[in-house]
Amino acid sequence: MDEDTRRRHAERIRNELLPGLEVISENSWNPVQVRKMPPGWKLLGCGNYAAVFSYPGDSRLAVKVYAPGRDGWEAERQVYRLIGEHPGFGRCHASGDDGGKRWMLLKRLHGKTLYDCLLEGVQIPEQVIKDVDDALSYAVSRGLRPHDVHGKNVMLKDGRGMVIDVSDFLKLESCTMWSDMKRAYYAIYKPLLSRSPFPVPAWMMDGMRSGYRWTRKRGKEQASRDLPEDASGDGMLP
Q: From the annotation, which residues make up the binding site for ATP?
A: 64
Question: Residue 237: CB partners within 8 Å, gap ≥ 6?
Answer: none
In 3D space, the residue among 95, 89, 82 whose CA is nearest the CA of residue 143 turns out to be 82
Helix (H, G, I), strand (E, B) or coil at 158: coil
Q: What residues form DSSP beta bridges with 22?
A: 36
Helix (H) or strand (E) holding 35: strand 33-36
DSSP code per residue over 97-155: EETTEEEEEEEPP-SEEHHHHHHHT----HHHHHHHHHHHHHHHHTT----S-STTSEE
Neighbours of 154 (CB within 10 A): 27
Residue 138 phi, psi (nearest 5): -60, -45
Q: Tell me if 163 sits within 8 A of 89, measured CB to CB.
A: yes
| Helices (H), ranges, the chain | 3-12, 73-83, 114-120, 126-141, 177-184, 190-192, 202-226, 229-232
- Residue ranges of the annotated binding site are 64
